[in-house]
A and B are shown apart, each in its own frame.
Chain A
Amino acid sequence: MAILSIRGLSKTYSTGFWGKPVLALDNLNLEVEQGEIFGFLGPNGAGKTTTIKILLRIIYPTKGTAFLLGRELGEAIQHRQIGYMPENPYFYRFLTGYEFLLFYGRLSGLHYRERRQRAEELLDMVGMRHARDIRLGNYSKGMVTRIGLAQALLTNPQLLLMDEPMSGLDPIGRREIRNIIMHLKEENRTIFFCSHILADVELICDRVMILNKGKVIRTGTVGEILREETTAVRVSVSKYTPALMEQLKAMAVDARESGGLLHLRAKDAEAANHILSACIQGGGAIHEVTAERGNLEDYFVREVSSVE
């Protein structure tokens, strides 16, 4: 049984009396299994936040339904099993970090001792001990993100819905959050992760879905998507003559000279073969051959713009 299952979910926003309705989500289907880190990707306005808001019943779907931990939207649900980290720091500015965690702990029904203990644990876990008694209004963006993560983890939820959890963090912070997420995965928790910071997604997500303008463009594992992407081969050559250089340049899609080396980019493996044999015949020395590792970002940019 999937932990999260979305079936035919659509959302149309009505914008005022005369406004044109906005189709923000169009027949979304997906399943997330226990223990998975599922990357939910898409450019601005793709419908990521809309999806999460529907799952949390902050807004209501126009069509379709979803099941969280086996319960359909609208049915009584164990809210403690679900953690939510909002997109931007939508938190009370007048509370200190510690008070903030106690408040949510209490709302979630944690008992007096339990919430105090959890709050302290989580302050350490997200590296916010130093800001325990500072009001959220005086936090930096990254600090708010961290305390927001602590809030989401208060009840040790089975399913975590994270809406761009890495935004506003420096590289160190991003790595820390990534480690926390990986740690949660080891505990077999499920993470639904919205983002457009693709480097992070690539590192931690098992499967991804790419969404644009409310429609699914692609679903697959990161590996699958990147494998298709990995076709180009880089060849570096030394000891080449000007004539050879001209010949090789003509065979490559891209060429660049630096430090006595000629860096060539072959379109695919076959093109790389031709370049290599021409190089050997022409008396050049092969310095390095590497398969170009595609990254999700290139794929993402291409896929999203091809739809438009």
Chain B
Amino acid sequence: MNEILTIALNTHKEAIRNKVFYIILLFVLLLLASSILLATLALGEQDRIVKHLGLSAINVFGLLLAAFVGVSLVHEELEKRTIYTIIATGVSRTQFILGKFFGLLLTVVTNVVVMGIILCILLVVMPGCSLKPSVIYAIFLFLFEMMVITAIAVLFSSFSTPVLSAALTLMCYVIGHLSEDLLEFAKRVAEQGNVILSYVLTGVYYILPNLEIYNIKNQVVYQESIAPFLTWKYPALAILYSGILLFITAFSFSRRDFK
């Protein structure tokens, strides 16, 4: 446990001392600032604009953080061989992977939470805006989506280069959000007689997580009911899915020769 925590904290430290971190932070702060600017211009629409842009900014921020900081974390340890001395202290390979995962998750969560708090404050102080519990729940759900993305990033970075893993992670994110369309598409392809492609698409549908279940932005912005999303099943699913991914990562890591 101590080992996992130590590596996690060190990973977190590494992430926040990374230049990419500040670039993403700057980018998102600009996005937030522009939402305020837009909101002051569009009278009567402030609430929607701030909620929509604010939640989007947080999504983008979390995703970029996990994808661009995360994917290099494991790969770099192998490439720069820092893993040698870690293993030499008696840390097991599974502990190492878990440490990396929790470290990255810690970075993502703390940052998403801080941005969430900023958004909540904005909603309270800006005229025409109101802070509803649904905003907080949206951020809460998003954290579970980030957990899955983080696990995906760690998996990819354990065997491929940062650029490739970033691309793959982003791809998983996009497909994960198009998950339902994918099934629809698979059906249509099958009707057209392309059975193989249909199977592939269906396979992808079942392998990749449906990330839309963690996205209630529209419901929040247009003040629709979020009742269907108020279930412990979705968070539990995210935990289960991440757990499986981590198990696969750790397993493939355990017998490997580090070059």
* A and B interact: yes
B258–A91 touching, CB < 8 Å = no
Q: Does A60 contact B (CB under 8 A)?
A: yes
| Chain B proximity mask over A17-59: 1 for CB below 8 Å, otherwise 0 | 0000000000000000000000000000000000001001111
In A144-189, which residues have CB < 8 Å from any B CB?
A: 151
Does B80 sit at the interface, judged by CB under 8 A? yes
Quote the shortest CB–CB distance from B234 to chain A (angstroms).
35
- A58 near B88: Cβ-Cβ < 8 Å: yes
Q: Mark B154-191, 1 if CB is under 8 A from A, else 0.
A: 00000000000000000000000000000000000000
B199 on the A face (CB < 8 A):
no
Cα distance A108–B6 in the bound complex, in angstroms: 10
The answer for the CA separation of A109 and B17 in the assembled complex, in Å, is: 25
Contact partner of B257 (CB less than 8 A), chosen from A59, A77, A92, A104, is: A59
B132 within 8 A of A: no
Interfacial chain B residues near A86, Cβ < 8 Å: 81, 84-85
**CB distance A90 to B80 under 8 Å?**
yes
B193 at interface by CB-CB < 8 Å: no
With A and B bound together, what is the CA distance between A184 and B25 in angstroms? 49
Residue numbers in A under 8 Å from B88 (CB-CB): 56, 58, 79, 82, 84
B81-95 CB mask vs A (1 if < 8 Å, else 0) is 111111111110000
Residues A104 and B84 in contact, CB atoms below 8 Å apart: no
Query: Which of A59, A92, A94 gathers most chain B CB within 10 Å?
Result: A92
Q: Is A103 an interface residue (CB 8 A)?
A: yes
Q: Does A107 contact B (CB under 8 A)?
A: yes
Interface residue tally for chain B (C-beta within 8 Å): 24
Query: Beta-carbon contacts of A74-99 to B below 8 Å, as 1s and 0s?
Result: 00010110101010101110110001
The reply to whether B87 and A58 contact each other, CB–CB distance below 8 Å, is yes
Judge if B212 is at the interface, Cβ distance under 8 Å. no
Q: Is A106 an interface residue (CB 8 A)?
A: yes
Question: B84 contacts A79, CB within 8 Å?
Answer: no
CB-defined contacts of B14 to chain A, threshold 8 Å: 92, 94
Which residues between 184 and 225 of chain A lie within 8 Å of chain B, taking CB atoms?
A: none
Which A residues lie within 8 Å of B2 (CB)? 106, 109
A84 vs chain B, min Cβ distance (A)? 4
A91 pairs with B257, CB closer than 8 A: no
Look across to chain B and name the residue whose beta carbon is closest to the beta carbon of A11: B257
Nearest-neighbour CB distance to chain A for B179, whole angstroms, equals: 34
> Would you call A151 and B85 a contact (CB within 8 A)?
yes
Q: Report the Cα distance A104→B81, complex, angstroms.
A: 15
Chain B residues within 8 Å of A57, by CB: 87
Closest to A91 in B: B82
B interface, CB within 8 angstroms of A: 2-3, 6-7, 10, 13-14, 17-18, 80-91, 255, 257-258
17 pairs from A and B in contact (CB 8 Å cutoff): A53-B84, A57-B87, A58-B83, A59-B257, A59-B258, A79-B89, A80-B90, A84-B84, A84-B85, A88-B81, A94-B17, A103-B6, A103-B10, A106-B6, A107-B89, A108-B90, A109-B2
Question: 8 tightest CB-CB pairs across the interface, nearest first?
Answer: A79-B90, A90-B81, A59-B257, A84-B88, A107-B89, A94-B17, A56-B88, A106-B6
